[in-house]
Each structure stands twice: as structure tokens, then as C-alpha cells.
Chain A
């Protein structure tokens, strides 16, 4: 079995080269493109990035990618801001997003932890945190309690689409989502060591009808 063709969505978000590097480490040579036909033709699409929801959504609308991404039919993996943009709405800039995960909002961490464990909640949530309630072949080979790397100030609360959850500041939130062919992670698999490479490899090799 050959390696599936993987395309990475090119847009105005940072940190795309980390995903290119990580996919190369799991044996895939991805193309980075904003061309609709090329994205539709790929067997897997990764929608990565770091950035602000308002600015990135404006760019997606301008470029027409806002119509392309939600209508993709192959497995798609949103990462970090990519996940947030697949949701219904983001509090970051109060912007409507792509709505692949309907009625799923993106909200900001509060200034104080919900469990009163400290005087202030450090935001962004930066560092290695654990995944729990794993429910997807995306996480094959991983176990609850495995660590992955997060950098974010906004998050998706508990959701029917959650396939993993993580706790920060007394809040248990959705750290990965799935609906149909759309998968998304709040954490950065491309920066999560061996666990992250396993997730990317699982995504590339997902059985998909």
C-alpha cells in the first residue's frame, strides 16, 4: 500500500512548516496548497495553523476556501486554530466560523480557574497535558493519560463531537472532535513527540469509505 496523497491547506496562519516536517517524519511528502481542485483531489487534507480566528476567517472568506473546506469528503484534520475554524463560532473576534461542527462554540479560558486552585489561571494554556476519554481510531496505540502539546487561549467546551477531553484550570473541555470525515485536535500532534507522530500516522492511514 502506497502512502496516501496529503494536502495541507495554505492560508494566512503561522506554523504550517511544522506540520510539513512532522508528516515527512511519518513518511509522507505533503503538498501545501490553496487550490480548490488540488485540495479536493488529495486523499487526506490537513488544516493546521496558529493565529487569530478573526483574521484567518476573513482570509478564508476572501480566498473562497470557506466554501471548499466544509465540502471536502476525504478525511480532514484540523489542528489548533484549524480546529477552532471548523467550529460554529469563535469568541476570538466574535466571528462566525465554518460550522462543520454545528452549534459548537469556541470560548476563552476565564481569568481565574474554575476550581479555585490558584489566584490566576495562566493563559495561554501552554505545555504538555493529558488526553482522556479517547474515542476514535485516530488515537489507536495511545492510552488515556498520554501527554500531548497545547498552546491556546480559546477552547471548545464539552461537545457531542468530542473524541478526547483534557482538563485545564478545573475545566474539562473537548481537546479533539470528530464529525463524519472531519477530525480536529486542539493540541499540536506535530509538536507532541512520539504520541503526536502516532496520531498523524493514524490519520494518514485511517480506513475511510
Chain B
């Protein structure tokens, strides 16, 4: 039976892992390759590395880190941050990444999804969406790590990304991110029940029960979190034992 995936997310700046609370106020949390390896040994199902460096030099450092991750870690990993064109994707895949996550660049130029899917296959293309519930039930997408609002509706954009060839949708609720009160399960369920591709829940993990809810109520295929893992608040083996006890299929 297909397992629900647990995915630690590592924000990387100048070669070091950081994690923001509500997208600001960064705290340092260690070396990305060592941290990734530790997660892999603990039973993480995949890893996501997001490059939050802006400089050209930082991008080079990130690419070198991707090669090290590929050499040392035996589970799939996705990389994202600053991907604007096909050449960026090719460089990261050549370095050994399994998938790339695109966000603002796809929202600005949706054709990028078709290009990635056409050249490298849908399985490579994760479309990340940051959204906020502006009125009850009305979710709007944001650009630039949640700093710039747009008029695009969450469902409409997710469906378009699906049709254009995205392999997975990584949905972050900005309302829930960093608050640790659980994932946006209603919106998740709507996405998961509508799309023909897997949905990864992101934003809001604070307790083990929140993961169970994302799978049971949100129908998510995978759940992503950062700080609860980085600061050891929820050890992955304990989380997976708990989920198995709850009857949710997980890889142990």
C-alpha cells in the first residue's frame, strides 16, 4: 500500500539551514547535508531543500550542496528557490536533484510548467503554491515567498498547474505556517479531491495529531514541516509510530 510521506523541509541560506516563523525572523538550524542525512536515517521519506539566497555566489554554493546531497543521501529530494527558467532546472537536475519546486516563476509565467514537464517529465516538476484565505473559503496565491498578493485563486491555479503537467502540488497555507495549530485541512481536501496529482501539505505542523489530520481530513498524500523536526520537537520515528498506530500507512 502506498505510504503517506513525511517530508522535512530545509531552508538553505549561504550553505546553512534556517527556518522562518511566518516567513520572517530566521533562526539557524545546522548544516543541510548533515541534517538531511540524519533525517534520512530517521525515516524521512523525502527531503526538500529551498535556496533562500539571493546572490549569484549563493546559488553556486547551493548547487554544490545539491551534489553533496545526491552523493550522500539515498532517498529522493526536491530543490527549489530562485528557479526561473529551464537552464536553472537543468543545472539542479545535473547536480543530482530528483525534482525541482517552482513557485513565483510559474505563477508569473505558467508556460514554465509545460517546459519542465516536456523536457524532463512531470515527475520532476513540483509546483509550490503559497496561499492565504482572504475571505472564508476564498484562497488567493502569493508571490515572492508570501510578500506579494495576487488575484489568482488557489483552486484555479492548482488545476491549471495540474493540466500543464505539474507532477505534484506543494500547498503552503500562509495563515497556518509557523503558527503550529495544524494544517489547512479544508483547502487541502478540496485540492486533493480535485487534482489528479499528489498534494503535499505544508504549513502548520505543531503536534503529531496535525499530521494525522492532514492525511485523514485533508486527504494529503504527503506532509511537509520544518521547525518541529529541526528543533527535535517531533522526532520522525515517533511521529511514524504514532501514525501507524492511527491506521495511517507509513514506511517504518
Interface residues of A (CB under 8 A from B): 14-15, 17-18, 21-22, 24-25, 50-52, 111, 119-130, 147, 149, 151-153, 167-168, 188, 190-194, 196-197
Contact = CB atoms under 8 A, between A and B. Distances in A.
A123 B196 contact: yes
A191 B2 CA distance: 16
A126 B167 contact: yes
Nearest to A124: B123
B70 to A, nearest CB: 5
Interface in B177-196: 193, 195-196
B194 to A, nearest CB: 8
Contacts of A50: 121, 123-124
Interface in B35-78: 40, 45, 70-72, 74-76
A128 B98 CA distance: 15
Contacts of A25: 72, 74
A202 B88 CA distance: 36
Nearest to A111: B196
Contacts of A147: 3, 251
B1 A129 contact: yes
A127 B45 contact: yes
Contacts of B40: 193
10 contacts: A15-B93, A119-B193, A122-B196, A125-B2, A126-B198, A127-B5, A130-B1, A149-B76, A191-B74, A194-B74
In the A-B complex, list the 10 residue pairs whose CB atoms are closest, starting with the nearest: A147-B251, A128-B3, A128-B251, A151-B123, A129-B2, A191-B76, A120-B196, A21-B71, A193-B74, A122-B198
Given A126-B221, A127-B198, A128-B2, 8 more contacts: A15-B93, A17-B70, A21-B96, A121-B196, A123-B196, A126-B168, A129-B3, A196-B74
Interface residues of B, number: 31
A108 to B, nearest CB: 13
B197 interface: yes
Contacts of B76: 149, 151, 188, 191
B94 interface: yes
B122 A192 contact: no
Nearest to B45: A128
A129 B72 CA distance: 23
A192 B74 contact: yes
Nearest to B122: A124
Interface in B141-197: 167-168, 193, 195-197
B162 to A, nearest CB: 10
Contacts of A151: 76, 123
B74 A197 contact: yes
Interface of B: 1-3, 5, 40, 45, 70-72, 74-76, 93-94, 96, 98, 120-124, 167-168, 193, 195-198, 221-222, 251
B158 to A, nearest CB: 13
B156 to A, nearest CB: 18
Contacts of A149: 75-76
A151 B93 CA distance: 16
Contacts of A192: 74-75
A161 B64 CA distance: 42
B197 A14 contact: no
Contacts of B93: 14-15
Nearest to B77: A191
A52 B98 CA distance: 16
Contact of A122 (B74, B98, B197): B197
A151 B198 CA distance: 11
Contacts of B71: 21, 24
Contacts of B222: 127
Given A128-B251, A130-B1, A21 B70 contact: yes
